[in-house]
Amino acid sequence: MMRRQFDRMIQLITLVLFLLACMLSNALGSRSLSRINLDSTTIFDVATYGAKGDGKTDDSPAFMNAWNAACQAEPNDRSILVIPEGKTFLLKPVSFSGPCKPSSVYVQVSGNIVGPTMKTDWIGYHIDTWLSFSMVNGLTVSGSGQINGQGPLWWENACIGTPPPGTSCHAPVALMFKRCNGLRLNGLTHVNSPRVHITITTCNNVIVSNLHIIAPETSPNTDGINVASSTNVNIRDSFIETGDDCIAISGGSSNVKISGIMCGPGHGISIGALGKGGADVVENIEVRNCTMQKTLAGVRIKSWQGGSGYARNISFKAIKFDAVYNPILIDQYYCPTQQDCINSTSAIRLSDISYSGITGTSMMDSVINLSCSESVACTNIAMDNVYISSVIPGRKVFGKCINAHGRISHVKPWFNCLKP
C-alpha cells in the first residue's frame, strides 16, 4: 500500500518537473525571440552623425552618413532615421538612394528642414531636385516636421509654362520619390517649394495622408503633389494651398484614389497635361470627397494637341466648389502660353468619365466646359447630380461642350450639347 502511494508520488513529481521544464524552455524561447524583435529596430539619429540643426550649418554630409548607416543596416532589420524635434537642419541637394538592406526604412521627421538660402549653393549639383529618395522599398516618411524649399529664391525668374530642364529658370522639385514600392508619407508640412512640392514617379503601392502643403497663390509652378508613371496610389486627408495644381496626375498612372483634400488657393485637381509630344496612358482614377476653394480650375482633364494614348475610367464624386473659376473642365486644346502649340488632329482618347454628387459656386458664368478634340472626341461622359451656381445669387450660368458624347441627369445648369 505505502509502496504504491510512494511510486505514484514519484510519477507525479516527474510529470510536474517535466511540465515545468517545458514551460521554462518555452518562456526562454519566446524571451529570446522578443529580444531579437526588439533588437531588429535600430535608430539612426542625424544628430549623432554630426548634424547641427542650427539652420546655418550644412547638415547634408551628416544626413548622408546617417542615411547610409540606416540603409545598410542588417537585412530584416527595421531602420529608423530620426530628425530630432526643436531643430532646423539646412540641407543642400541630397539624394537618399537604395536599395536598402532592411525591408523597411522609417524616416521620422520631427524637426524642420530648410533648403539652401542662395542660388549659388546649388552650383555643382543636379538642379532638378532638392531632396530625393530613389529605389527604397518599404519607405515611410512621417512626422510633424516642416520642409521648407526656400521657394522665393526661385519664383522671381521662373519659367513660363512647363519649364525646360537646363534653363536657368528651371527650379527644382522639393521632394521626389522615385522607383519605390510601399511608400508611406504622412503628417508633414511642406512650404514654399521652388517648383513642385512632392513628385511621386515610377512608384507602386503608395499612401500619402495628413499633409499640409502651403505656398502663395502667386508662386509659379508650385504644384502640391504630382503623380507620374505610378500605380496604386492613395492620397487623402490633406490641405493643399499652392500657386498651381493641388494634385496633378500625369501619364503612366493608374489606380489612383484621391479623397478628403481641401484644395485652394491653387489650380484644382488635374489629370494631365497629357500627350505632350507622345503617348500617354492614364486609367482608373477616382477623386472623391474633395473641396476646392477659390481655385482657378476645379476638376480638370487637360491634354495637348498631337498626343496619342488614352485616359479612361476617371470619376469625380462628392466634390464641393466654393467660388471656383472653371469648376468642371475638359480641355483637349491645352496650350497655356498660346505659343509653340501645334494644330494637330491626333489626340489622347478620353472615355468613361463620370461626375456625380457635385455642388457649389462658380466665379465664372461658364461652369462646365467640355472641349474635346474633333478627331477622337470624348466618349461615355456621365453627369449625375451636378448642381453649380454663380457666386452672385440669381446670376445665370451655363455648360458648354464640343465633340463630347455621353448623358446627363439631374444637372443644373442643364445643357444639351452632349451627343449620345
Q: Rounded to the nearest whole angstrom, what is the least distance from the CB of residue 331 to ligand NAG in the complex?
A: 4
Burial of 31 (0-12, 13-18, 19+ CB in 10 A): exposed
Give catalytic status of residue 197 as yes or no: no
Contact assessment for residue 185 and residue 169, using Cβ atoms and an 8 Å cutoff: no
- Decide: is 212 part of the binding site for ligand NAG (CB under 6 A): no
Contacts 24+ apart (CB under 8 A), 45-50: 45/82, 45/84, 46/81, 46/82, 46/83, 46/84, 46/89, 47/84, 47/87
Interaction of residue 313 with ligand NAG, rule CB under 6 A: yes
Beta bridge partners of 202: none
Distance separating alpha carbons of residues 57 and 279, to the nearest angstrom = 45
Q: Any catalytic annotation for residue 410?
A: no
Nearer to ligand NAG among residue 179 and residue 419 (C-beta): 419
Strands 104-109 and 88-90: unpaired
Classify residue 119 by burial, with Cβ atoms within 10 Å: 0-12, 13-18, 19+.
middle
Sequence-separated (6 or more) residues with CB below 8 Å from residue 130: 91, 93, 94, 115, 149, 172, 173, 174, 175, 194
Q: Which of 260, 293, 308, 322 binds ligand NAG (CB under 6 A)?
A: 260
244, 280, 331, 352: the catalytic one is 244
Cell numbers found for residue 17:
518537473
- Report the site for ligand NAG in 355-374 (rule: CB under 6 A): 366, 369, 371
Question: Which of these ranges, 34-42, 131-139, 279-287, 293-301, lies near ligand NAG under the rule CB under 6 A?
Answer: 279-287
Instruction: Answer yes or no whether residue 125 interacts with ligand NAG by CB under 6 A.
Output: no
Closer residue to ligand NAG in complex, CB, 125/239: 239
Q: Give min distance, CB of 143 to ligand NAG, in A.
A: 21
Site residue total, ligand NAG (CB under 6 A): 15
170, 190, 197, 267: the active-site residue: 267
Cell readout for 51 is 548634424
Q: Is 333 in the site for ligand NAG (CB under 6 A)?
A: yes
95 vs 313 by CB, closer to ligand NAG: 313
Contact of 357 with 319, CB cutoff 8 Å: yes
Least distance CB 239 / ligand NAG (angstroms): 8
339 binds ligand NAG (CB under 6 A): no
| Contact map string, positions 380 to 409, toward ligand NAG, x by CB under 6 A | --------------------x---------
Residue 343 CB, shortest distance to ligand NAG, in Å, is: 4
Among 110, 210, 289, 379, binds ligand NAG (CB under 6 A): 289
CB of 333 to ligand NAG, least distance (A): 5
Indicate which single residue of 68, 284, 354, 356 sits in contact with ligand NAG (rule: CB under 6 A).
284
Which residue of 120, 337, 343, 416 would you call a contact of ligand NAG, by CB under 6 A? 343
Instruction: Tell me the three cell numbers of residue 238.
Output: 490633406
Q: Which of 275, 283, 357 is nearest to 320 (CA)?
A: 357
Nearest-approach distance from CB 311 to ligand NAG, in angstroms: 12
Q: Give the range of 8-16, 100-108, 196-204, 282-290 binding ligand NAG by CB under 6 A.
A: 282-290
Rule CB under 6 A: say whether 241 interacts with ligand NAG.
Answer: no
Could you give the residue numbers annotated as active site?
A: 244, 267
Please report, as ranges, the residues that interact with ligand NAG according to CB under 6 A: 237, 260, 262, 284-286, 289, 313, 331, 333, 343, 366, 369, 371, 400
